[in-house]
Structure 1
Amino acid sequence: MSDTSALQRKPGVTDRLLNKVEWAGNKLPEPFMLFLILFAITGVVSTAMAAADITVTVPGTDEPTVIKGLFTGEGMTWLTTNLGANYVGFPPLATVLPILLAIGIAQHSGLLGAAIRKLFGTSPAWALPYVVGFVGVISSIMADSAFVVVPPLAALVFKAAGRHPMAGLLGGFAAAGAGYSTNIVPTSLDALFAGITTSVMGALPGYDFTPVNPVSNWFFNIVASIILGVVAGLVIDKLVEPRIVRMGISRDEISADGEEPDAAGAADTTDAEHMRAKLTPAENKGLLIAVLSAVGLTAAFLVSFLLPDSPWRNEEGGFLPTSPLLSSIVFIVVAYFTVVGIAYGVVVGSLRSSRDAVRMMSDAIKEMLPFVVLAFILGNFIALFNWSGIGTWIAVTGAAGLEASGLDGFAAILGFILLASVLNLFIISGSGMWAIMGAVFVPMFALIGYEPAFTQAAFRVGDSATQVITPMNPYMIVLLGMVRKYEPSAGFGTLMARMLPFVIPFWVIWTLILAVFFVLDLPLGPGNGIFMG
């Protein structure tokens, strides 16, 4: 890790470029005003498109999607009757707030700090970026919960090792987001993608293609997960953390009033040696009880979920592609943090009554109040974007343009990945975008000899890499709140500048991995190749 002498170095080319990106990005208004402006622009554009009677037909469907305008009778009625529902129904609220309540107990009881000291107190600090990178990439098994759980824990790990916590925070978020579509184990996303891919192949009856299932991209995903985990570690270690150190950003969290913590507070919360100190007997006992509680909870879950007549199974008796179990991820995460946090707190004495638990949860929510406010306008903006049909129009129009370009071979695949990356800046839902793009490109690429599983694998690259630099990603607001604890003046430009070093390597390396599979004609998964016939 770079030392303080790095602060005196002349900024390199990369620093100058990222400084310009940050400067330009921070010229954007504050997040609330930014999305208010975007809401107004979307309203005007949608109204103009509606007045022009613009429609778009998603391939494979019969009914055209009609663009609806906000500043019409229908649009204003939609807004006035759904203003509160758009806010309360904003999906990240249902993910972020329950998990924060549980993490509040685990954090303020002392469990997370003790666990970090126990696990990383003697581990080499040089390995942490790579651990965070790999864990971040495979954390998609927790679905959107990964964006809330991984970054703050990564920050704690870095702080415990005497490294800059914001590097862990940013690295954990970037790895979780830019590598979201891949994992070393099949996830619910694999099942969802496979179902969409298979369904759109109905547009080409009689073609001899290999059926797509949740493990059709498994071999490709394993290779991508491992390599991207290493890439994330390298970016954290060699680019992001040294730049943070050169900029002189404080390692300590800023207090609520924006002032630096006093000496006593800093000594209690940020001193690396204190964080790495040997645990007391009570803390060791608390961790043991917490682990045993987690084991007991796991056993209870397994019994409940794996029974043949379990209500958490789907109608076919399984779990994929959808089931009550896969819809219970937030509950499972909340249950683990709550149970182990209470178990630890009771043993060490930090949690003596239900009043203490309520206080711990309240403290966690207080830290996220800016996000709760921003969610009001963000939820309404995204709801308008979807309701108006503009997102569908952008995706279908872009797909038609690429189809008409005349590209073939791997060049066509590169164009497809690039288009997916651009659309990903506007349409964050991977399944929603794949439903639209798959309807066009799975049959199109099948006509030139590519298996549907290969087209699906190519989509994964574009679907993930750019989602950590777009304000359309609602979890960017969550990240901004976390970053401002260390850098109060941070804005969207700050996040874009910090995330760009991850986006470009992820995009390039992931595409190269796909190219290697393509050139060597390697199987993407059990029974699924690249070329048809």
Structure 2
Amino acid sequence: MTSSAVSRRSFTDRFLNGVERVGNKLPEPFMLFLILFGITAVVSTAMAWGNVTVQVPGSDEITRIRGLFTAEGLTWLTQNLGPNYLGFPPLVTVLPILLAVGVAEKSGLLAAMIRKAFGSAPRWALPYAVGVVGVLGSIMSDAAFVVIPPLAALVFKAAGRHPVAGLLGGFAAAGAGYSTNLLVTSLDALFAGITTAVTETLPNAGSPVTPVSNYFFNVVSSLVLMVISGFIIDKVLEPRLNRQGISRDEVANDDDAPATAAADLKAELDPRETKALRWAMITGVVLAAAIAVSVTIPGSPWRNEEGAFLPDSPLLGSIVFIVFTMFVVPGLVYGKLVGTIASGKDVPRVMGQAIRDMAGFLVLAFILGQFIALFNWSGIGQWIAVAGAGGLEAIGLTGYPAILGFILLASLLNLFIISGSAMWTLMAAVFVPLFVLLGYEPAFIQGAFRVGDSATQVITPLNPYMIVLLAMLRKYEPAAGLGTLIARMLPFVVPFWLAWVAILSVFFFFEIPMGPGNGIYLPASE
């Protein structure tokens, strides 16, 4: 190894060690938002004692900052602790979708769809199949990080290609494309709920933000990222692994067995699974057709008073029901045919498993709800938004450069705050009101956040699934470390980030709607 290579490796190691040290000093998300709640409580009280007020531009109303540690604030908290939690908007949308996804996942339907996609792909197309399955894998939430990589490695090896390329490529596609999908997922509901919680107190905040508010943007992003991830696996990652002489065969190591348990799944479906998947897909198509007919017939009750679907209608308000049905019914059909759901009593069981898997989020949602509620009630959010918007206007940074700066900040924070819901709660409370004052739709800002939220999470040592992936990689490369993983993920991160920003730029400059009823600018700015 040359001295320059040693120097570069030393620099990389020092940088990664520094990132890990800084990140490890951050509290867990629950404690982080508990601290932020306390800071907000103290600051709001000081501002209330100082009689600070704020006036939103375009409004005649002057808002007085209210403090938590006042008689008014303390009675507000004691009366609203429960409502602040149960009224946290993401719970209303996320929980029903989680129950539905739980049925589809625990019945085996989602895994069967992934295995079918892998097994039917020709050898040359395998990298692109991994890209498709990886990006779509976010529908399985965090399970995608455990299921997709070993399956991709298995299929690559069976086709005579390098299994490590499938392993790492599957993880990269699932992680770097985590915030987008061709389908509506629980993440769409989660982000929309957080955005809605912030915009509830904002005047003239534009169209309501729903789980489909970023759908058009997500579809384009998904298709582009699928192709890019497949190209990188095929043209960059696998050739480099071959040049480095990385082993194609697993090295036995009992200590890593739990981490590779998902590899016990076979890539090919057996006849019973194939039949069940076929009937589940037929059921899904019939359901979709029935929904389409019911909403398109003249006089449909799912239209608004003008007979249209936009900007607001019962159809948009029924998105959670539609997603719920499209997961539950095909999942039940598949589970019944393969035997994973034998009777009606198994349905609440698998739903319960899905909720247990999300217990950490339900606990985190308690403090997130309190933080958002205090931020809105105190008026600090409006004050920061007005002050921030005025500052940006003073330096002339109000156009697209401000959006790019916001995305870059999200990408950097994503190295330290892995939870997307926690980070969006933090950023939305400040930046959604700020950008609303600058004339942007909340749904557009939410879409911009998604770009920064995904791309960098596959290179941070704080991502717990990096450790799981490392255990899988060491089956082939025992000496591999986190630096090895990060170095092999970087070729995905930069193109993903640049491509996603380019897509957002097209939507921005051509003013293409981000989703049904949600554009780029607020109507008053047009």
Q: TM-score, normalised by structure 2?
A: 0.65
Q: Does 1:130 align with 2:117?
A: no
Paired amino acid for 2:177: A
Q: Which amino acid aligns with 2:127?
A: W
**Shift in Å at residue 232 of structure 1?**
6.2
Which position in structure 1 is the counterpart of 2:347? 357
Match of 2:263 in 1: 271
**Partners of 1:326 and 1:107 in 2: CA distance:** 25
Corresponding residue for 2:61? 63
| Alpha-carbon distance in 2 for matches of 1:76, 1:294 | 51
Q: Which residue of 2 aligns with 1:160?
A: 151
Q: Would the aligned equivalents of 1:166 and 1:483 in 2 still touch at CA under 8 Å?
A: no
One-letter amino acid matched to 1:82: N
1:418 aligns with: 405
Unaligned runs of 5+ in 2: 1-6, 154-163, 183-191, 197-202, 207-213, 242-249, 414-422, 472-482, 514-518
Contact kept? 1:345, 1:351, Cα under 8 Å: yes
- State the one-letter code of the partner of 2:56: V
Q: Deviations over 1:161-190 (max 9, x none)?
A: 12677975674454353899xxxxxxxx9x
> Any residues of structure 2 matched to 1:184-223 within 5 Å, and which?
none
Give the CA deviation at 1:286: 1.0
| Residues 84-483 of structure 1: pairs in structure 2 closer than 5 A | 84-123=82-121, 124-128=125-129, 130-131=131-132, 135=136, 149=140, 152-153=143-144, 156-162=147-153, 168=170, 171-172=173-174, 174-177=176-179, 227=224, 269-271=261-263, 274-277=265-268, 279-406=269-396, 413-415=400-402, 417-418=404-405, 436-440=434-438, 462-467=448-453
Asked if the contact 2:130–2:152 (Cα under 8 Å) also holds between the matched residues in 1, the reply is no
Q: Note if contact 2:110-2:140 (Cα within 8 Å) is conserved in structure 1.
A: no
- Where does 1:512-523 land on structure 2 (aligned, <5 Å)? none
**Higher mean C-alpha deviation, range 217-226 or range 433-442:** 217-226
AA at the equivalent of 1:126:
P
Asked whether the 8 Å contact 1:55–1:67 carries over to 2, the reply is yes
SS of the equivalent of 1:177 reads: coil
- Once residues 402 and 102 of structure 2 are traced to their aligned partners in structure 1, the CA distance between those partners, rounded to angstroms, is 45
- Deviation at residue 400 of structure 1 after TM alignment: 1.0
- Which residue identity does 2:128 align to in structure 1? A
Contact 2:169 2:233 in 1 (8 A): yes
C-alpha distance in 1 between matches for 2:438 and 2:376:
20
TM-superposed deviation, 1:426: 6.8
CA 1:83/1:108 → structure 2, altered by over 3 Å: closer, same or farther?
A: same
Q: Distance in 2 between matches of 1:87 and 1:236?
A: 43
CA distance in 2, matches of 1:305, 1:456: 27
Would the alpha carbon gap of residues 515 and 469 (structure 1) be closer, same or farther in structure 2, given more than 3 Å must change?
A: closer
What is the rounded CA distance, in whole Å, between the counterparts of 2:444 and 2:93 in structure 1?
Answer: 29
Question: What amino acid does structure 2 have at the position aligned with 1:414?
Answer: P
Deviation track 1:31-60 (CA, whole Å, cap 9, x = no partner) reads: 222221111111111111222222222222
Matches of 1:13 and 1:362 in 2, distance apart? 47
When residues 487 and 65 of structure 1 are mapped into structure 2, their CA distance, relative to the original with a 3 A threshold, is farther
CA contact (8 A) 2:131 2:169 kept: no
User: Which residue of structure 1 lines up, in the alignment, with residue 200 of structure 2?
Assistant: none
Going from structure 1 to structure 2, the CA distance change for 1:10 and 1:463 (only over 3 Å counts) comes to closer
In structure 2, how many angstroms separate the alpha carbons of the residues matched to 1:288 and 1:54? Answer: 63
Answer whether contact 2:134 2:144 (CA < 8 A) is retained.
no
Q: 1:334 to 1:77 in 2, by over 3 A?
A: same
Deviations 1:291-350 (A, max 9, x none): 121122112211222222222222222111222222222222221111011111222222
Maintained 8 Å contact 2:280/2:330 = yes
Identity %: 46
Taking the aligned partners of 1:148 and 1:287, their CA distance within structure 2 comes to 17
The Cα of 1:132 is off from its aligned counterpart by 5.1
Deviations 1:399-422 (A, max 9, x none): 2112111469xxx64245425765
Other structure's SS at 2:318 match? helix
Q: 1:172 to 1:201 in 2, by over 3 A?
A: closer
Aligned pair count?
436
Residues 177 and 501 of structure 1: is their aligned pair in 2 closer, same or farther, counting only changes over 3 Å?
A: farther
Q: Relative to 1, partners in 2 of residues 1:11 and 1:108: Cα closer, same or farther, differing over 3 Å?
A: farther
- Tell me, yes or no, if the aligned pair for 1:151 and 1:171 is still in contact at 8 Å: no
Contact 1:150 1:172 in 2 (8 A): no
Amino acid of the residue matched to residue 77 of structure 1?
Answer: T
Query: Which residue number corresponds to residue 188 of structure 2?
Result: none
What amino acid maps onto 1:111 in structure 2? L
3-state SS, counterpart of residue 303 of structure 2: coil
Contact 2:372 2:425 in 1 (8 A): no
Q: Distance in 2 between matches of 1:332 and 1:280?
A: 30
In structure 1, the gaps of 5 or more residues are 1-8, 137-146, 181-188, 194-198, 203-216, 244-250, 252-258, 443-454, 472-478, 489-493
